[in-house]
Structures are given as structure tokens and as C-alpha cells.
Structure 1
Amino acid sequence: MESGLSSLLNVSIDFGTSHLFFPRIVTWIMVGLFGVVLVTKMLPFLSAVRRGEKTMPIIGESRDNYRFFGSIALIVAYFYLMDVVGDMFPYTGYGFLYVSMVFVFLMSLLYMHEKTKKGVAIITAISIIAPALVWFVMAKVFYITLP
């Protein structure tokens, strides 16, 4: 009897996968909420489209392909390069810092309509200050390691 009770009180942790516990919970919560949104919002909208009361947005509308595909390319490059640069400076967060500076600068340039010296100077300052501030708060204040 006692061995059965003591086995219930023993906890073994697999440290190789324990860091995935909460992300899995959050992922399944997000999947469930996405399903709720689909059922409550999307299905009534699609039935209104079938009845002809509403039209599908985006389909048939013009799109700025330069900014659309540029944004996708920058986001993919951002996550890829953060890992690559982070491996050059392990456990320092410099991968996040340096790549975020370049990412914010290029993304701001991509969406800037009139490129003036003043505008470029402002986005240069923002692209240096904002990631540096986030890096400082995360790494030095909260001791959270960044990639």
C-alpha cells in the first residue's frame, strides 16, 4: 500500500523536453480559440456571402505586391538570420539585437512613401534605439536570454 502511495508522490522531469510544456498548452489554447472564431465569425460570414448579402474581401482587389512580398521576405529572413547571428554570439542576445536593428530599418524603409533625409534619419534612430531598449530590458533587467 505504501509503495503505491509513494509512487504517486514521485515526480520525474525530463529536462530535455520540459521547456515545451507551456508552449504546448498555449498552442492548443490558440488552436481552440481559432476554432471558436471560425465557428462564430467565419461561418455566418460565408453563409452571408453565399446569399449575396456580402462580398469576399481581398479577392479582386489590387495589392501592393512590392510591399506584400517584401514584408514576407523580410520576416522570413529575420527569423532565419536571428538564429544564424545568435549562434555567432551564444547566450548574449546579440543575434536578436543586431538582426532586429536591420529588420526594423529595412521594414520601415519598405513602407516609407517619401524617402527624405529627415525621414531616413528618424527611422535609423528608431531602428537603433528600439531594439537596444528591448534587448536591455529583457537581457539585463529580467535576465531573459534572447536568441
Structure 2
Amino acid sequence: MGSLASVTIDFDTSHLIFPTMIAVILGLLGLAIVIRDRRRIATAGAFWRRTFAEMDRMRFFGTLVLVLLYFSLMLPIGDFWPNTGMGFLICSVIFVFLSGLLFMHDRDLKQIIPLAIVAVVAPTFVWWLFTYPFFLTLP
């Protein structure tokens, strides 16, 4: 009976409970969707062929490359200034500016200047907010 009143927690694996539960639930829901819509999924080839033929490849693949570079460079850049959030700040400024340029239709100086201001101000504000009022360390 004494063991009912005591609780032991394995701190090495206890943080994995909820992500595992969510992954299993999402997997089961995805499987249910595939089973329910199997006929529509099987006949969707023409839709996807048309979608891939008409898509803007430069913006699609450019966004994928920018996102991959953003997340993969944040930590190595941040390692130059540990526990300051400079990796987040520098990578975010560059990411916001380049993704804005990527999705801009007319790239003249009149539109690039506001983009540059937003690319510097928005990540700097988020960095300041997390660093000082919230006392959270960014990568």
C-alpha cells in the first residue's frame, strides 16, 4: 500500500508522453481520412498534374530553400554569440527580407525600402520582447 502514495517520474523520457500521444492521434485521424476518401485520393492524379503544371516554381522552391536555410543556419550563427538570441535575430532579418523580395511583384526602390524597414523592425521587436520582458533565450 505504501507504493500507491508515492510517484516516480523518469525525467529522461517523461517529456515525450504528449508528443507521442499527439503523433499517434494524428496518425489515426490521417488513416481514417485516407480510408474514408480513398476513391477521391485515387482519382486525384489529374488535379495534381494540373496544379504542378500551373504553379509558380520559383516562389515555391525559393520558399522551401529559404525556410530550410533559416532553420539550419539559426543555431550555427547563434553559436558565435551564445545565449543572446543573435542567431534568431540575424537569420530572421535576412529571412523576412528575402522572402519579401521573393513574393514581391514589382521590385523597385519605393517598395524595397518599406520591406527593409519591416525586415529589421519586426524581428528586432520579437527578439527584444522574448529577451527582456519574457526572459526567454532564443537560438
> Is TM (by shorter chain) over 0.5?
yes
Unaligned regions of 5+ residues in structure 2, if any? none
Q: Deviation string for 1:117-138 (max 9, x for gaps)?
A: 1210111011111111111111
- The equivalent position to 2:80 in structure 1, one of 88, 91, 99, is 88
Normalising by structure 2, what TM-score? Answer: 0.80
Name 2:106's counterpart in structure 1.
114
Shift of 1:89: 1.0
| Residues 15-30 of structure 1: pairs in structure 2 closer than 5 A | 17=12, 21=15, 25-26=18-19, 28-30=21-23
Shift of 1:48: 3.5
Q: Deviation string for 1:72-125 (max 9, x for gaps)?
A: 111111011101111111111111011100000001101101112121011101
Name 1:139's counterpart in structure 2.
131
| Residues 56-75 of structure 1: pairs in structure 2 closer than 5 A | 57-61=47-51, 62-75=54-67
Q: Percent sequence identity over matched residues?
A: 31
Q: Deviation string for 1:26-73 (max 9, x for gaps)?
A: 353145235315524x444442355x6x77533223221111111111
Name 1:9's counterpart in structure 2.
6
Q: What amino acid is aligned across from residue 135 of structure 1 in structure 2?
A: W
Shift of 1:13: 5.5
RMSD: 2.7
Number of residue pairs matched by the alignment? 137
Matched, 1:32 2:37: no
Unaligned regions of 5+ residues in structure 1, if any? none
Normalising by structure 1, what TM-score? Answer: 0.76
